[in-house]
A and B are shown apart, each in its own frame.
Chain A
Amino acid sequence: MATATAAGAHEAHEHTHYTTTGLNHRKIAMWAFIGSECMLFGSLITTYLVYKGRSVVGPFPHQPWTDPVSGKVFPAILDIPVTSASTFVLLMSSLFMVLALAAVENKGKPGYEGLLGSSKFWLASTAAAGVIFLVFQAYEFTSFVHLGLTIKTNLFGSSFYTLTGFHGAHVAVGVLWLMTMLFIDIKRGLTPKDAINVDIMALYWHFVDVVWIAIFTLVYLIQ
């Protein structure tokens, strides 16, 4: 009978049972889920691209726009320096994540002592990077709204906020997951036996990062 290990660890009972491939049930399911997410983000990105340049009123992502009625001038909306910074943070979070996994897998082995070998440190850093990314996004959204772009303004607003909002929601779920894992680590300490749980979480986290890599180029950089 299973004892409590980590959140989610009980769903599959492969630890007591034989599996055909020798692989972990949940890891297979996670990869299938990621495949499915490719279609979800594929649809969201497709919609953004299809609607690019089809808004009948501004403001627009890359060019300034003058409202013909009020004569008011709206600047180009996207703020590349800020987004470059948040992109960098998310990329680094992926590094922290692999280091967290390595720390859990190798707990107690030589070379994994001290702060840099501590899974708690790296999990916390990953979560923190995720939070910073979300703060950047919150800042981005509010500043865009102040510039005159809401989700209701035009097609650009609708498709932009929906796409990046969905991505942000995924980051938020990832942060919750990371914090849960960190909580478990603090409470009872993760051991190499828990590595599979961290591994699965890491897959999700990196996937969210990979989606951002695509969004950053397709939405922000290409004009």
Chain B
Amino acid sequence: MSTDRAHADHAHEHPTWKQYKWVALWLFVITVLEVWAYYIPAFVASKAFVPSLLIMSAAKFVIVVMFYMHLKYDHHLFRKLFTGPLIIAGCTLVAFLFLFAKV
């Protein structure tokens, strides 16, 4: 496992202060967009509403996980420990929505 150990001291290539604040700004902007969309009745009624909200919240999710939880910079093992269960949880959720005729 020599390759594993090379990464181990993850060389503190964490994002910097500045990046952290940019990330926060993005999160803020997306949240504003989400809430804004909620208040446009025409958009809420359109087919694009649900997908666009899902995409926006997925984007926030990914940003927090990648930068604040520094999965982007950390050991690949952590990425596996997180994405594996996340995929199974997501698939199960979708399966339930089908089984209960929600989609």
A positions within 8 Å CB-CB of B: 20-23, 27-28, 31-32, 34-36, 38-39, 41-42, 45-46, 49-50, 52, 80, 84, 87-88, 91-92, 94-95, 97-99, 102, 105, 202-203, 206-207, 209-210, 213-214, 216-218, 221-223
Q: Mark B7-27, 1 if CB is under 8 A from A, else 0.
A: 111001010010011011001
**Which residue from B8, B34, B81 sits with its C-beta under 8 Å from A32?**
B81
Where the two chains meet, the residues of B that have a C-beta atom closer than 8 Å to any C-beta of A are 1, 4-5, 7-9, 12, 14, 17, 20-21, 23-24, 27-28, 31, 34-35, 37-38, 44, 49-50, 53-54, 56-57, 60-61, 64-65, 67-69, 75, 77-78, 81-82, 84-86, 88-90, 92-93, 96-97, 100, 102
In the complex the two chains form, is B92's CB within 8 Å of A203's CB? no
Among A27, A32, A98, A105, contact of B68 (Cβ-Cβ < 8 Å): A98
**6 nearest CB pairs, A to B:** A22-B8, A42-B89, A35-B85, A217-B57, A31-B81, A95-B24
A221 engages B34 (CB within 8 Å): yes
Would you call the interface of chain B mostly helix, strand, loop, or mixed?
helix
Q: Which residues of B contact A98 (CB under 8 A)?
A: 20, 67-68
Residues of B with C-beta under 8 A to A210? 61, 64-65, 69
Minimal beta-carbon separation of B1 from chain A (angstroms): 6
| Least CB distance, A125 to chain B, in whole angstroms | 13
